[in-house]
Structure 1
């Protein structure tokens, strides 16, 4: 197990609760400090976890500067990502951060430059790499079983922003906080999983962004507010390996709770993976008589990736980092792709990455 690692958590919203639950399963990892702008959240989570009152911080600098904290898990809105990344680098504090890396490419470049002179153990949470079925697919493709990849289709659909849901104006609809809409939120996952599974980089993009629900009600003022970010995005990509990809993502796909999936069409068959069952992989291949057969593999022997366990290991420095996890450079690459999609949309043409 090694020495105990003491974790500080920044941001105590719904996703943070999941991170804390998973950290609780890691031998030798213990949450010792919390940070949030909400006094109520600090009190609620602090009492639940038994965190002392003097370890419940209202500012990131106080938590990051705490000598009793060995590493930081950050789960905050996008507009605070840069400040947390920079503060951890300057303090030499290991960091496990949510994607996207930043709001804009300019911010990502600023972070990358600082990281070169102030490297720290750092994980960016592109979480769909972790799933057992996606890990099975990665190995399947890596063994050459798919053959040459001709084309692929990736989609990430949710329905919580649909008109009938009457979802109010939240931070994910606020351009100043989020940068882009569903593109940066869900599209970032699609881009990461496509390049991760294929092992090939996108070289050209063409895109179309749309705001399907142009106004939402501010829950505080009860006034209508204009939405300046996309809630639907689609784009096409050409890859270095010669394959092409079609991508779509939406917050308006009624009936789709959290549907992230990829289908890869190779010369030897077709491979399909979906979050709708992250322990199944569908494989379609040719029969000798000219037809095809589809098999569904139950992925029982693959555990997937455990980033919380990996983060604790990196803090201890007890083994070489696993390269399967997304690095800061991967986060920067992802931000570059997001920026290129926006450029392609505005230019209404194919844009080189």
Structure 2
């Protein structure tokens, strides 16, 4: 593959997830990180020195980095409360953006971003990262080819254990309602909703839900004093899809023994398909034996090249050298996801079934 011209990329936010983005960008031929932005001078100095980014390109201000003419595209990896501001600033500046999910904190913020984007579209990816995995890509093709038949129902879960009581996790930004919006629902549940609609090709039309805060207070990491937690750390919801399928979803930060367990099981008329992050190089396919005597279960090995590379895609979009790959999530997809999150919240609050089409931003 021919390598296009080099593109200069700026990274906003230098936390743990950003370090992963930086590592992956380093594998993309023709992509170079030319500027950094973070509120921490220590992080700027550390990462800047490691990447050879000069001090004058290490910014404390988001606007300064976005306004840097040598920055052709931006990767944003920040807490949720700055998502809307960064999206708006990049759209106004015409700067291509690769942004983390969820799109924003609230549906109201998402509506404002969507309206601005429709007037001034830019090259933009929203990082619903589980679309990229080889097994999930294989499952998408498998279902799209009709091999599962009609999907009757599906089960989706995303379980982690880092918030469990025995872990003694302090009060972090992910537990702060003002920063995060919702808790595990917006963090992990957003992935579940995206992957369910992405794999099935069908949209959710109705939702019912329950949200729970299992660990109701956590210690301030600075003072050691308890702080009330007002966001969920467990969420479950049911969904009806436009094609008639029903989905059951659960997500938790309190599932001991689950490091990062995101998985989908789809039950179709022709068989059952299972895909999981526990092995994203395999899918498990269960189907009837030809003689009708029972079922067969086959583990299908999926080649690594079946996966998607969003960092390479982003560099190509900055260059504008080829059509965008439609498998990656768009801003419209991000808005749709925020709409579904709001529907879950409203379903929980009203203790009723919520029609997605009835949900509006305040």
TM-score between both structures, scaled by the size of structure 2 = 0.97
- After TM superposition, the structure 1 = structure 2 runs for residues 104-143 of structure 1, keeping only pairs within 5 Å, are 104-143=106-145
Pick one of 18, 38, 41 that aligns with 2:40. Answer: 38
Stretches of structure 1 lacking an aligned partner (at least 5 in a row): none
Task: Determine the C-alpha separation between the residues in 1 that align with 2:292 and 2:133.
Answer: 35
Aligned residue among 245, 248, 270 for 1:246? 248
Cα distance in 2 for residues equivalent to 1:59 and 1:250 = 34
Runs of 4+ off more than 3 Å: none
Residues 42-65 of structure 1: CA deviation (Å, up to 9, x unaligned): 000000001000000001000000
SS at match of 1:43: helix
Q: Distance in 2 between matches of 1:62 and 1:94?
A: 16
In structure 2, the CA distance between the partners of 1:21 and 1:45, relative to structure 1 (3 Å rule), is same
Q: Are 1:77 and 2:79 counterparts?
A: yes
Corresponding position of 1:180: 182
| Alpha-carbon shift at residue 301 of structure 1 (Å) | 6.0
Aligned partners of 1:153 and 1:264 also within 8 Å: yes
Q: Which of the numbers 325, 331, 334 marks the counterpart of 1:322?
A: 325
Cα pair 2:151 2:245 within 8 Å, conserved? yes
Q: In structure 1, how many angstroms separate the alpha carbons of the residues matched to 2:213 and 2:90?
A: 35
Establish whether residue 237 from structure 1 lines up as the match of residue 262 from structure 2: no
User: In 2, Cα distance between the equivalents of 1:18 and 1:8?
Assistant: 14
Contact 2:138 2:306 in 1 (8 A): no
Count how many residue pairs are aligned between Structure 1 and Structure 2. Answer: 353
| CA drift at 1:303 | 2.9
1:179-228: per-residue Cα shift (whole Å, max 9, x none)? 00000000000000000000000000000000000000010121100000
Tell me how far apart the structure 2 counterparts of residues 82 and 203 of structure 1 sit (CA, whole Å): 26
Indicate which of 20, 32, 53 corresponds to 1:18: 20
Query: For 1:150, what is the secondary structure of its paired residue?
Result: strand
Alpha-carbon contact 2:38-2:60 (below 8 Å) kept: yes
Name the counterpart of 1:228: 230
Asked if structure 1 preserves the Cα contact closer than 8 Å seen for 2:128 and 2:329, the reply is yes
- The answer to whether the Cα contact below 8 Å between 1:24 and 1:30 also exists between their aligned partners in 2 is yes
Q: What is the Cα deviation at residue 291 of structure 1?
A: 0.3
- Give the unaligned 5+ runs of structure 2: 357-362
Match of 1:351 among 341, 351, 354: 354
Partners of 2:187 and 2:196 in 1: CA distance: 15
RMSD over aligned Cα atoms: 0.6
2:280 to 269, 278, 281: 278
Question: Offset of 1:290 from its aligned partner?
Answer: 2.8
| Residues in 2 aligned to 1:307 and 1:7: alpha-carbon distance in whole angstroms | 14
In structure 1, the partner of 2:298 is 295
Could you tell me how far 1:2 is from its partner in structure 2? Answer: 1.3
- Contact 1:136 1:302 (8 Å CA) reproduced: no
CA distance in 2, matches of 1:268, 1:289: 13
Secondary structure of 1:203's counterpart equals: strand
TM-score, normalising length: structure 1: 0.99
Matched, 1:197 2:202: no
